[in-house]
């Protein structure tokens, strides 16, 4: 080709390349202007919330700086702008929520104080309710073991049970058989009549058609006879002076030792007064109990005035801050008048040592003595203001009905019953538990 034409072609190509170059240089300029145009068109919505619009502009300026080369990021920012505006509107709502949260937090701070109190309250009642039921069952089972002789075939319970076994219907003549069992079990004539009076009437009216109803009637009346007073002694003052009386051999000194063990276990400070000065073995026995339990024993010389010994014991209890004074007394039955005179003198001496003493006068009776125990109760009741009785050696007799006769005829409350040789075998008396243990039900095994 001609060199001139080559030059012309080169110039034309350069012109085309230059045009294309300048064409590409001019395109980004209008795009930038178009991007800058939208913020100029935003004022109409900015009039409502100018401050909010300023915030997204700063966010745009911060975001494109790192992402300047690619154009798509600014477009995403544009799409996120309304989201930012939407999040700003609920922001005040979220601000209100923490305020509501701070209130319960403030309320939660006083809650821990009452919470421990609420937790402590149920702890005392439920354990005392849930534990009380098994404790009562254990007491009944323990009483039943102690009343084994009463519940065996030849005993009070066993003989009553034999009257009903194998009989579908109750014969009205069974009342006479029940009466015989009660009388031979040392219940007593008057008490037997009281127990059977209602049963006879209900049998005539055909209201007691089966053995269980007759048995329930017996248990009901027995519980009523025994429910004269609560078990245990009442510690009304400090020191509470308890005078223990009874004839020789019923277990006065042993009962005092067991009672001291029980009170000591309850945290009480006990002083023992060896007032049975006419029996040297009684003083020695009481000293043995004092060492075993950890109680102070106040005693005198053999043949000393029992009132003076008890007076010193009360003074000692007042000086040392003791809670209880348990005073042993003589139980000689050479003559009724001499014994009762000595006991009356001792009671007057107690009143001189401490106003209101003795606060409790407990009569100890041996359940194996039967009707003799009934006579002893009548004799001591005439001479002294008895506050209750302690019935010992119930585990050694099959005639446990004597307790019903004493309560019914002498109106003396049973405070404790002895069903064994151990200290814990001296039980506080509970009428319902004792009746359940002694009589049980017609279906119980003897």
The DSSP annotation for 27-39 comes to THHHHHHHHHHHH
Strands 270-273 and 296-298: parallel
Q: What is the pLDDT of residue 138?
A: 53
Distance CA 364, CA 345 (A): 19
| Tokens of residue 169, six digits | 């219907």
Which of these, 247, 293, 295, 251, lies nearest to 273 by C-alpha position?
Answer: 295
Q: What is the pLDDT of residue 25?
A: 64
Distance CA 121, CA 128 (A): 11
Top-confidence residue, 272 or 171: 272
Which of these, 256, 241, 236, 238, lies nearest to 348 by C-alpha position?
Answer: 241
Distance CA 289, CA 126 (A): 37
Q: What is the pLDDT of residue 108?
A: 43
Per-residue pLDDT tens over the stretch 254-293: 999 999 999 999 999 999 999 998 888 899 999 999 999 9
Per-residue pLDDT tens over the stretch 133-154: 444 455 688 888 888 888 887 7
Q: What is the pLDDT of residue 144?
A: 84
Output the average pLDDT for the chain: 76
Decide if 385 contacts 357 (C-beta within 8 A): no
The HSE-up count of residue 392 (CA atoms within 13 Å, CB side) is 22
Number of residues written out for the chain = 446
Decide if 143 contacts 419 (C-beta within 8 A): yes
Top-confidence residue, 446 or 298: 298
Top-confidence residue, 137 or 234: 234
Q: Where are the alpha helices (DSSP H) in 63-89?
A: 72-88
Distance CA 316, CA 295 (A): 12
Per-residue pLDDT tens over the stretch 28-40: 444 444 444 444 4
Query: Which residue has tokens 């405070």?
Result: 415
Q: What is the pLDDT of residue 443?
A: 52
Per-residue pLDDT at 363 exceeds 60? yes
Which of these, 374, 377, 344, 367, lies nearest to 420 by C-alpha position?
Answer: 367
Top-confidence residue, 125 or 167: 167
Residue 45: pLDDT band with limits 50, 70, 90: very low
Decide if 189 contacts 374 (C-beta within 8 A): no
Q: Which of 205-214, 294-303, 383-392 has the lowest mean pLDDT?
A: 205-214
């Amino acid at each position: 080709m001609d060199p001139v034409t080559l030059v012309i072609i080169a110039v034309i190509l350069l012109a085309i390349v230059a045009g294309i170059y300048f064409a590409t240089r001019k395109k980004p300029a209008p795009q930038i202007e178009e991007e800058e145009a939208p913020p100029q068109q935003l004022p109409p919505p900015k009039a409502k919330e100018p401050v909010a619009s300023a915030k997204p502009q700063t966010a745009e300026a911060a975001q494109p700086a790192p992402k300047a080369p690619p154009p798509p990021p600014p477009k995403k920012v544009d799409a996120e702008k309304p989201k930012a505006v939407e999040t700003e509107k609920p922001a005040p709502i979220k601000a209100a929520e923490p305020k509501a949260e701070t209130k319960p937090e403030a309320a939660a701070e006083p809650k821990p104080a009452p919470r421990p109190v609420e937790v402590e309250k149920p702890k005392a009642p439920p354990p005392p309710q849930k534990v009380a039921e098994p404790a009562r069952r254990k007491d009944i089972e323990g009483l039943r073991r102690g009343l084994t002789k009463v519940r065996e075939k030849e005993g009070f319970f066993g003989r009553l049970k034999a009257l009903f076994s194998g009989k579908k219907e109750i014969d009205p003549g069974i009342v006479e058989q029940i009466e015989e069992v009660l009388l031979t079990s040392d219940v007593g004539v008057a008490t037997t009549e009281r127990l059977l009076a209602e049963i006879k009437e209900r049998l005539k009216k055909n209201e007691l058609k089966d053995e269980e109803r007759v048995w329930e009637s017996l248990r009901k009346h027995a519980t009523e006879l025994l429910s004269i007073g609560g078990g245990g002694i009442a510690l009304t003052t400090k020191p509470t002076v308890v005078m223990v009386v009874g004839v020789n051999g019923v277990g006065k000194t042993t009962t005092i030792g067991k009672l001291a063990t029980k009170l000591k276990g309850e945290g009480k400070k006990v002083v023992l007064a060896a007032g049975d000065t006419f029996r040297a073995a009684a003083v020695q026995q009481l000293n043995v109990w004092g060492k075993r339990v950890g109680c102070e024993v106040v005693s005198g010389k053999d043949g000393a005035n029992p009132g003076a010994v008890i007076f010193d014991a009360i003074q000692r209890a007042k000086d040392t801050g003791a809670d209880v004074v348990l005073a042993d007394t003589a139980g000689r039955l050479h003559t009724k008048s001499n014994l009762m005179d000595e006991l009356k003198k001792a009671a007057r001496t107690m009143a001189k040592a401490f106003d209101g003493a003795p606060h409790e006068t407990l009569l100890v009776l041996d359940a194996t003595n039967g009707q003799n125990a009934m006579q002893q109760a009548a004799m001591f009741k005439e001479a002294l203001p008895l506050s209750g009785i302690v019935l010992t050696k119930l585990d050694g007799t099959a005639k446990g009905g004597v307790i019903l006769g004493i309560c019914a005829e002498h109106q003396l409350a049973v405070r404790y019953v002895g069903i064994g040789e151990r200290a814990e075998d001296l039980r506080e008396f509970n009428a319902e538990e004792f009746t359940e243990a002694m009589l049980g039900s017609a279906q119980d095994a003897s």
